[in-house]
Amino acid sequence: MKTVLKSLSRCSGFIPILLILMVPSQVLGADGEYSLVIQDHRFQPEELKIPAGKKIKLIIENRDATPEEFERHALNREKVIPGKSSASIFVGPLKPGRYPFVGEFNEKTAKGVINVE
């Protein structure tokens, strides 16, 4: 095993590939899919960057035992996500800007923003 790792480490492209594989799975999904996690009544990540002018699928996984309501007043989107479950919401296409969202059942802690670039 050590011999294989030594051989791979000599390859100039190995380190960037390894770093890409280490990116948190809650951010990246299939092309056009983005993910948020609700845990301890907080959204992770708190800021999600998406491309302008593209429709995306937002997958929200609620790891808490209690339900949470994902709400974005600016775009008239809300969805109750039961505890220990996931839901999908289609968003966009959006113009560049910042679009705040909250977890309505825990607004003091469950806050975030979609940053459209």
Reading the block at residue 32, the tokens are 């056009």
Sequence ranges of the domains in the chain: 24-116
Q: Residue 26 has what pLDDT?
A: 38
Superfamily of domain 24-116: Cupredoxins -  blue copper proteins (2.60.40.420)
AA identity, residue 57? K
C-alpha–C-alpha distance, residues 84 and 113, integer Å: 23
C-alpha–C-alpha distance, residues 16 and 62, integer Å: 31
Instruction: For 20-64, write each residue's pLDDT tens digit.
Output: 444 443 344 557 999 999 999 999 999 999 999 999 999 999 999
Would the pLDDT of 85 be above 80?
Answer: yes
